[in-house]
Structures are given as structure tokens and as C-alpha cells.
């Protein structure tokens, strides 16, 4: 964890003031009196504060340098700093101050042993403050780091999933155009125009979200293109008009589910048409697709529902439900997303 020196200094100053005030309160002494601003008190207060600040500073330096792997080393170095800090205070207040100003912190000369023992209390008190300050900051930094790593991993995985979709979509749509041209159908040019629009959307739409109206319009183009490929006999029941087009959604998500239906569906039975319905209720999208299962899939290959489910988990965690119903003859998906 990076040491924030001035933040530590400010927090320690507040703690020191409260601690000193608490001592005066329980000792029934006024926090400020006539002697509080004498030169002697000011000098001793500054040297005391400077010395005591070294305890939390050493804690933050050594733990910040050696955590999380070498806790014992950090702790030993902090303990080793204690006698040096005590000697530093002794040097300032009992050697420098008497020599320069003619006064020290103690009213009479004291032995080094007594001085060391007397200062252990302060060493423990302010080292505990340093430990508390460091670990509160360390936990917050660790949480932010873990959150950033989770977001980076999610974005990386989502980018990988989307990179799978694009070649898959390109392969299938080119097959569709090839079929139309091979059959020498007059609407091949119209299909090429639809394909151009769809591929531009699939390959170059890099935004995380697009408005729902854009996704629905490209969904219509995709279904129209697939109808041209399969034939005019496609039985279709489509209702995607009752939507709030201003809502935002991940691009190509609805199209992927429709693509899955065309990959595995049989659309020649008027009694069992392909059903595509989308509606919004507030900011909730309900998207339903149902199709009769083909005895042999019309199109092979691809990445399928697992990719779609994983994208939903990454994009709409705890904000979606995907209900799949399957029988020997029928397959349906109802997707509900809070956008």
C-alpha cells in the first residue's frame, strides 16, 4: 500500500489532540491554560508530537513494504524501531533542549532505563494507532484492487465472448447469402444489403450498450435475411413493437438468441410457427422465442447458448432470468432483463 504521508499526519494530529484532551479531562485539568502557549510548552509539544509520530510512521513504512508476504519481518522491524524512536525523543528533549534552551521534559535528570520504560506506554499506544490506520487503509485498497481486477477480468472475458460471436455470425450470414446466390434468387441483392448492415453492426459496434430500438431493427433485418435463406414458407409469428426503444441493451444479444432458433428450428409447419416477441414493462425487457425443433439442424457449428448465458451472467448479474423449456418437438426461451 502506498504511504499517504500527509493523510497519516493529519489523522495522527487529530488522534493526538483527542488523546491529550482525554488525559486532561480525566485528570480534571483544563485543556488550555495560561502556560499552554509558553515557549517551553510549545517546544516540548512539538518535539513530543514529532517523536510520537514516528511510531505510526514506522508501522506504515515497514508493513507497507513487506505485506502481505513477510508479516514477521515487518513486525520485527517495527519493534526494532521502538528503542531508536525513544532514544530520538530522549536526544531531543534531554540533550538538545537543555543544551540550547536550558530546559528538558523532565524536571530532573533521569536514567536511560527509566526513560525507556516510561516511553514504552507511548510506544504501544501510538503503534496501535499506526496498526489500525494501516490495516484500515490496507483493507480498503485491497477491496478496490479486487474490484478492479474483477472488472478487468469481466471485461476481458466479455471481449473474448464477443470476439467469438462476430466470426460465428459472419460465417452463418455468408452461408445464407451463398445459398441465395446458388439458388439464383432475385432477392439476393436485397439480402446482400441486409447482410452489409448486419455485419457492420456485428463487427464494428464497440459500445457496451445500444438503444433497444437499434437492436430490434437489426433483429428484424436478421430474421428477414434468414427468411430469404430458408424460403418464403417460413411460418413466423413476430411481435416486437411494444417496446421502449430508448432503453439500453448489450448489442447483438437478442439477435444471438434468434440465430440459435434458426440454427435448430423447423419453420415449415404453420401450426408451429417461429415465435419472436419482445415487450418492455418499465425498464424490464421480456423477450420470448419459441420454435419447433428440426429433426436435423438447419445450420451446424457455432458457440450456442452457453456463450449467450455467460454473457448474460457477466452483463446482467442478478438482473436477468433465462427460462428454457424444451420437449421432443418444441424449444423456447423467455429472457427477462432489468435494463
Q: Is residue 20 assigned to a domain?
A: yes
**Would the pLDDT of 72 be above 70?**
yes
Sequence-ordered list of residues with C-beta below 8 angstroms from that of 235, at least 6 positions apart, any chain = 267, 268, 269, 270, 272, 273, 274
Instruction: Say what the pLDDT of residue 285 is.
Output: 94
Residue 173 inside a domain? The answer is: no
Residue 169 has pLDDT above 80, yes or no: no
Domain assignment present for residue 285? The answer is yes
- Domain CATH for 213: 3.30.565.10
Q: Which segment, 151-155, 163-167, 266-270, is predicted with the most confidence on average?
A: 266-270
- CA 213 vs. chain centroid, Å, equals 28
pLDDT at 206: 64
Query: What DSSP assignment string belongs to 247-262?
Result: SEE-TTHHHHHHHHHH
Structure confidence at residue 129 (pLDDT): 92
Q: What is the pTM of this model?
A: 0.52
pLDDT in tens, 8-51: 889 989 988 888 877 766 666 766 665 667 888 888 889 999 99
Cβ atoms within 10 Å of 145's Cβ, excluding its own: 11
Contacts of 28 (CB under 8 A, 6+ apart): none
Whether the per-residue pLDDT at 137 is higher than 80: the answer is yes
Q: Are residues 242 and 289 in the same domain?
A: yes
Residues 129 and 78 in one domain: yes
Q: How many domains does the chain have?
A: 2
Residues 332 and 272 sit within 8 Å (Cβ to Cβ)? no
Residue 333 lies in a domain: yes
How do residues 83-133 score in pLDDT, each as one tens digit?
999 999 988 988 898 889 888 888 777 777 888 888 998 899 999 999 999
Looking at the structure, do residues 247 and 142 belong to the same domain, yes or no? no
Domain-located, residue 174: no
Those residues whose C-beta lies under 8 Å from the C-beta of residue 122, and which sit 6 or more positions away, are: 52, 55
Residue 131 and residue 195 share a domain: no
> Does one domain contain both 232 and 316?
yes
pLDDT at 302 over 50: no
Residues 324 and 196 in one domain: yes
Decide if 252 is inside a domain: yes
Q: Which structural domain, as residue segments, surrounds residue 282?
A: 185-338
pLDDT of residue 303: 53
Amino acid at each position: 500500500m502506498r504511504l499517504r504521508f500527509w493523510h497519516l499526519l493529519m489523522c495522527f494530529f487529530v488522534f493526538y489532540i483527542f488523546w491529550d484532551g482525554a488525559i486532561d479531562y480525566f485528570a480534571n485539568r483544563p485543556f488550555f491554560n495560561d502556560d499552554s502557549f509558553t515557549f517551553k510548552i510549545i517546544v516540548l509539544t512539538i518535539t513530543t508530537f514529532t517523536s510520537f509520530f514516528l511510531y505510526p510512521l514506522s508501522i506504515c513504512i515497514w508493513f507497507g513494504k513487506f505485506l502481505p508476504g513477510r508479516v514477521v519481518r515487518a513486525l520485527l522491524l517495527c519493534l526494532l524501531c521502538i528503542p531508536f524512536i525513544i532514544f530520538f525523543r530522549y536526544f531531543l528533549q534531554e540533550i538538545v533542549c537543555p543544551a540550547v534552551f536550558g530546559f528538558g521534559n523532565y524536571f530532573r535528570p533521569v536514567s536511560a532505563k527509566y526513560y525507556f520504560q516510561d516511553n514504552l506506554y507511548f510506544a504501544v499506544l501510538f503503534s496501535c494507532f499506526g496498526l489500525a490506520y494501516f490495516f484500515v487503509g490496507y483493507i480498503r485498497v485491497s477491496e478496490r484492487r479486487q474490484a478492479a481486477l474483477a472488472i478487468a477480468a469481466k471485461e476481458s472475458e466479455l471481449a473474448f465472448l464477443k470476439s467469438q460471436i462476430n466470426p460465428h455470425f459472419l460465417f452463418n450470414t455468408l452461408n445464407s447469402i451463398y445459398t441465395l446466390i446458388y439458388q439464383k434468387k432475385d432477392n439476393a441483392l436485397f439480402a446482400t444489403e441486409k447482410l452489409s448492415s448486419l455485419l457492420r453492426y456485428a463487427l464494428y459496434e464497440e459500445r457496451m450498450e445500444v438503444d433497444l430500438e437499434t437492436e430490434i431493427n437489426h433483429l428484424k433485418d436478421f430474421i428477414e435475411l434468414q427468411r430469404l435463406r430458408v424460403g418464403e414458407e417460413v411460418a413466423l409469428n413476430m411481435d416486437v413493437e411494444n417496446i421502449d426503444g430508448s432503453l439500453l441493451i448489450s448489442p447483438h444479444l437478442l439477435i444471438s438468441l434468434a440465430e440459435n432458433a434458426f440454427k435448430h428450428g423447423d419453420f415449415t409447419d404453420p401450426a408451429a410457427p417461429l415465435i419472436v416477441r419482445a415487450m418492455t414493462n418499465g425498464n424490464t425487457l421480456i423477450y420470448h422465442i419459441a420454435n419447433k425443433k428440426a429433426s436435423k439442424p438447419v445450420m451446424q457449428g457455432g458457440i450456442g447458448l452457453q456463450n449467450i448465458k455467460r454473457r448474460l451472467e457477466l452483463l446482467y448479474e442478478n438482473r436477468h432470468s433465462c427460462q428454457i423449456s424444451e420437449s421432443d418437438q418444441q424449444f423456447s426461451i423467455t429472457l427477462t432483463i432489468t435494463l
